Chains A and B, each alone.
Chain A
């Protein structure tokens, strides 16, 4: 591997080839997942908390992102449980909803493989080869309040160090990457799996962990929104620190 141990004062390491390959595979997958995921959400732009939720139960949040938003095209609700007159009802939908899930769902799951398989390889290689310890995880010294504050203050004054084209990250940068790699990305995958009827048949614990099918769907949405926010800041920082140098470093390794 073309890396040198991270000792302060030495020139920055370059991105290892496997890191570069996986970075761009993940980037392409995440962009595809974000677009197809948004199209899927447009088919039912309501979020719920708990195990189940639908147009006949109260939502947690309604998003005005397609003509399906509060469309109101339903036959009058009728009670339909044998002994209970109050409570659950059924209604027939009379509205022609926006629904592009045929291609959007298949594309979403195809792109998910494009994130999960390289992601697993990344986790194995990163743990085995010391990439996480050397480059990604902030050290105790870096996490000292004074050091963190210095980095925060530098960012607030837009004092962005010029691109090195490789790792030797600042403490805020390390925290952001650590959060994405070890928290947000696994949360996306696990909440996604918690929505699969076949996977939860075998592993119902996924439903318990996230508080049910619809809670998992809602967490999936908020985690994806957090990832998109990260992506915007990430690209902004790449531009601010020297776009050409950074993209060349992540593509060619120098």
Chain B
């Protein structure tokens, strides 16, 4: 009886192992914790699968000016009307001054931390993109966004090699983060303009984030502060996870 060196079974197993090994090299080094929670484990699995299986820097489809649609404003539509100690009153004062005194500190694992004014940001090379906003609720809308790529801002402050995540704080007191894959994506911008005008108050004035490859709630409005970190931070009670929402929303 002849012993075959290459059996079909062995070829399939070897092929799968080789493909798995290649894909594993694309797995993010810092996966968010599962908190011993089945749903959070599922979120992390989806995050890992998308990072492993999808091309890392594909651009979302961009549209023409004529494709811009009506656009609901949901969640917070005016942080000045909230009752957040230290934040609501400060926001009202900034808004009263036309956001001239608004500053965005960018700090953490960066070489030269710095606070940017709106004048600083609008002086940097701008990017305008007409994209689809997809809300977790089920609706979608097309809008035109003008702003500065987050990558440009991070390069201006010298992002350190130890950096892994970018954390955002807002005037309606949310804390959220994205990984560097999204932070350095060409369509991830800090938007100060919408549909050819200044960003309206209801849509996040003076500055909001646009993370086009994720669901709408990752595109934080009313930005207050950016911190680059070397570890995953869930934002505690002000973050999505402790409020029962997925951190990664590529689906």
Q: Does A80 contact B (CB under 8 A)?
A: yes
Contact of B70 among A88, A109, A213, A214 (CB under 8 A): A88
Across the interface, A92 reaches (CB within 8 A) one of B39, B58, B77, namely B77
> CA separation between A201 and B136, bound complex, in Å?
17
A196 to B140, CA, bound (A): 12
Q: Restricting to A159-215, which residues have a CB under 8 Å from any CB of B? A: 195-202, 204, 207, 213-214
Confirm or deny: A40 has a beta carbon within 8 angstroms of a beta carbon on chain B: yes
CA distance A249 to B210 in the complex (A): 53
Report if B40 contacts A (CB, 8 A).
yes
Interface flag for A127 (CB, 8 Å): no
Q: Does B5 lie at the interface of the complex (its beta carbon under 8 Å from any beta carbon of A)?
A: no
Contact residues, B181-237 vs A (CB, 8 A): 194-197, 200, 202-203, 212-215
**B55 in the interface (beta carbon within 8 A):** yes
Given A110-B42, A198-B213, A89:B70 Cβ within 8 A: yes
Q: Which residues of chain B come closer than 8 Å to A53, judged between CB atoms? A: 139-140
Which of A18-26, A41-49, A227-235, A240-248 contacts its partner? A41-49
CA distance A82 to B200 in the complex (A): 12
Q: Are B73 and A105 in contact, CB atoms less than 8 angstroms apart? A: no
Minimal beta-carbon separation of A53 from chain B (angstroms): 6
* A32 → B minimal CB distance (Å): 11
Q: How far is the CB of A24 from chain B (nearest CB, A)?
A: 19
Contact of A91 with B136 in the complex, beta carbons under 8 Å: no
A93 touching B136, Cβ below 8 Å: no
User: Whose C-beta in chain A lies nearest to the C-beta of B246?
Assistant: A106
Task: For residue B70, give the distance in angstroms from its CB to the closest CB of chain A.
Answer: 4
Task: Please determine whether B245 and A102 come into contact, CB atoms closer than 8 angstroms.
Answer: yes
Among A87, A204, A213, contact of B134 (Cβ-Cβ < 8 Å)? A213
Interface: A2 (CB within 8 A)? no
Residues of A within 8 A of B195 (CB): 80-82, 88
Tally A-B pairs: CB < 8 A.
Answer: 159
A54–B139 contact, CB under 8 A?
Answer: yes
Interface range, B side: 35 or more
Partner of A52, one of B39, B58, B77, B140: B140
Q: Mark A111-131, 1 if CB is under 8 A from B, else 0.
A: 001000000000000000000
CA distance A74 to B250 in the complex (A): 28
Contact of B72 with A by CB under 8 A: yes
B7 sits at the interface (CB 8 A): no
Q: Which 10 A-B pairs have the closest CB atoms?
A: A82-B196, A198-B250, A110-B42, A44-B138, A56-B70, A54-B139, A102-B244, A92-B77, A106-B39, A202-B58
Q: List 24 A-B contacts (CB under 8 A).
A: A40-B138, A43-B138, A46-B138, A51-B140, A52-B139, A56-B141, A57-B70, A74-B72, A87-B68, A89-B70, A91-B70, A91-B73, A92-B77, A101-B245, A105-B249, A106-B40, A110-B45, A197-B213, A197-B214, A201-B54, A201-B59, A201-B60, A201-B61, A213-B140
Extra contacts, 16 of them, besides A90-B70, A200-B60 (Cβ < 8 A), are A54-B72, A80-B194, A80-B197, A81-B68, A88-B69, A90-B73, A92-B73, A92-B77, A105-B246, A107-B39, A197-B212, A198-B50, A198-B250, A201-B54, A202-B58, A214-B140
Contact surface of A with B, Cβ cutoff 8 Å: 40-41, 43-44, 46, 51-57, 74-75, 77, 80-83, 87-93, 97, 99, 101-103, 105-107, 109-110, 113, 195-202, 204, 207, 213-214, 217
